Chain A
Amino acid sequence: MELKLNGSWRETPELATVGALLDHLGVTHQAVGVLQNGQVVAREAFDAQPLHGRDELEIVRFVGGG
């Protein structure tokens, strides 16, 4: 399926949920924030949140900052 991940379109296998996408990418579910088509996905809902082709996702974490 085609997904826009952090600004670039990428081809991934068929993935059913946001949680499955994170697993596929090797991104931990801890301390990670996900925006799906502009909507925040709660961390508890990662494994239940359906994923569709052409979805646009922002996956963020915490970095050093002031």
Chain B
Amino acid sequence: MASEVSPVSAAGEWRVGGQVLGSRLIVGTGKYATWDVMRDAILASGTQLVTVAVRRVNIDRPDEPSLLQYIPEGVTLLPNTAGAYTAEEAVLTARLARAAGLGSLVKLEVIGDPDLLWPDPVATYEATRQLVDEGFTVMVYTTPDPVLARRLAEAGAAAIMPLGSPIGSGQGVLDASAVAFIKERVSVPVVVDAGIGSPGDAVLAVEAGADAVLINTAIAQAANPIQMAQAMRLGVEAAFLGRAAGRMPRRERAAASSPTLGVVQGPCKP
């Protein structure tokens, strides 16, 4: 009799601050060709949490349609501090997002290198402390550094989000062992954020120990974003199902899958 397979229950719910989430996929809302495509991709991904950026209103076109109209019901918004190069800018952006009515959840991002969009670890740490102090639930984008991750968690971060590779690069998870080391060292969720290019990359992140993955460009810039969103969903679910199932041990040498007895032999004398 076939038993029921439920990938979602294999992963189980997870929590960030007070937020309970079923989906292990967080999706970005940038770089889609149209908002209709974005909405359909969000739906296909099954995500319950999407990132948004904070930017100036166009004073000359105040009636521009709002992104928020295209966010499916039941999906929570996670404002980011993208564009911030100092702790002060990031803190200000987070305060503005909260004042605009988006709650206390924030994806903290303080960049230190414009070419690599690499996080500034010192400013990131300072901003984490400040935002935690102000009551924010801080999901912090960071370098894949196990020591910094531990320090950020000690400072009160609600999730540690190491980059897999540079933002928008699609290079995948360049150091999977760093993800595993971080996961061993913090008790809050670990989310691989940035660099995921394919479903295989998402699987690798989860197999390395990530509790979730955050994906934007790989979905938005795929030839078919809606299909890719579904592929990412299935990849993440497959990885969690595989984790729950317990993978076989690695061996250095081969071990035959077929019986070694009863092998057909040809004639001794040709």
Contacts and interface: CB of A to CB of B under 8 A. Distances in A.
A66 B55 contact: no
Interface in A6-34: 6-7, 10, 25-28, 30-34
25 contacts: A6-B56, A6-B59, A7-B56, A10-B59, A25-B59, A25-B62, A26-B62, A26-B63, A27-B62, A31-B101, A33-B96, A40-B92, A43-B100, A43-B101, A59-B59, A60-B57, A62-B68, A62-B77, A64-B28, A64-B30, A64-B38, A66-B29, A66-B30, A66-B51, A66-B82
B100 A33 contact: yes
Nearest to B77: A62
A31 B66 contact: yes
A66 B96 contact: no
Interface residues of A, number: 28
Interface of A: 5-7, 10, 25-28, 30-35, 38, 40-43, 58-66
A26 B28 CA distance: 28
Contact of B101 (A30, A63, A64): A30
Size bracket, chain B contacts: 35 or more
Most buried by A among B30, B62, B68, B100: B100
B99 A34 contact: yes
